[in-house]
Structure 1
Amino acid sequence: MCDERTSACRPTTLYGQSKLCAAEAYIAAGATWGRVYFPFGPYEPDARLIPSLIRHLRAGQSFDCSHGRQLRDFVYVEDLAEMIAAVLDSDLTGAVNLGSGEPRSLRSVVEHVADRLEARHLVRFGAIEATGVDAEPIIAADIRRLREVTTGLPMIGFEAGAGRALAWWTDRLSGTT
């Protein structure tokens, strides 16, 4: 679990390095910087995991993925918005992790969505190699600091969020959105 005060940031892309530089500048100025983990939900780019999975499976196409043992911290977009608002309304400064604090395997995420589409047979685990940051065994948020300001907030969570995301993508792919 990544602790915003002690875990080292190791960006491997120019984009990641730029974000880290911006974060360091904000923090040095006494501001707050939210470290967003793996948001999902309506309107996310088609190439991301969940929309890509839904598109492939609804089209009856196989979905190639890695072994899926990597643990990631997925956070539903509405929960993320509530977290951001709570942090902005707080006295917290410095880096604050914005995630669910509940790591889950990529395999479990893929299976959850595939099961709802009755298409698990189309998923091919181990068909591609996990490389680079995708090979990291765990990327998940320690959210103890966040919990200081979010106690009692309504949380949609992964399962309900995945259901909402699936409904939205299904409508979009059917041409009703």
Structure 2
Amino acid sequence: MTQKFRRVVTGHDSNGVACVESDQYAEHILQRPNRPGVTLTNFWLSDSTPAEYDGDVETCKGPFILHPPTHGSAFRCVEFLPENPEVLAKLDGPSAFAEMGAGANIVEGARHPFMHRTDSLDYAVILSGEIYMLMDEEDVLLKAGDVVVQRGTNHAWSNKGTVPCVIAFVLIDGVTTTNAAPESSKGIPSR
């Protein structure tokens, strides 16, 4: 069963008094057959840095895109159910990422069908369960309480365990100052 997340958004009333402007379950959710067992839930999207903090109460509108907005950020959780290797071997990573506007981010010929490289700085906190972060040549087991600073590298998430893993992410639109993109990565724009 997919975890539901209560999202509380604060603001100010007409007298400038701090208040809760929205208190409801997050509704900007993506689940798809091309990536079974993975649910993404957006909480907040910002399209500028510095971020506007007194605008709309609802920023998660329109299609669900993997990337944060240009010059902005995305705050979300992703739930990864345990993987079934037989099902995983039959999945189409490029199609799954294309559904999120990120078809060019998939790493062709990688050791996992969802190996990808984003052009963002991502902060991740493992909230529950455990998961492997697969890199080009190494696997890192992450458990609840561990944090990751993902800096535009090739990676995939693989839940080889028996319980769901939930990860909180803050994705920040990024730029590169080097040409560190490996030949296996394609289409990653440098802004």
TM-score, with normalisation over the residues of structure 2? 0.25
Structure that is richer in helix per residue: 1
Point out which structure has higher relative CO (alpha carbons under 8 A, 6+ apart). Answer: 1
TM-score by length of 1: 0.26
**As a proportion of its length, which structure holds more strand?**
2
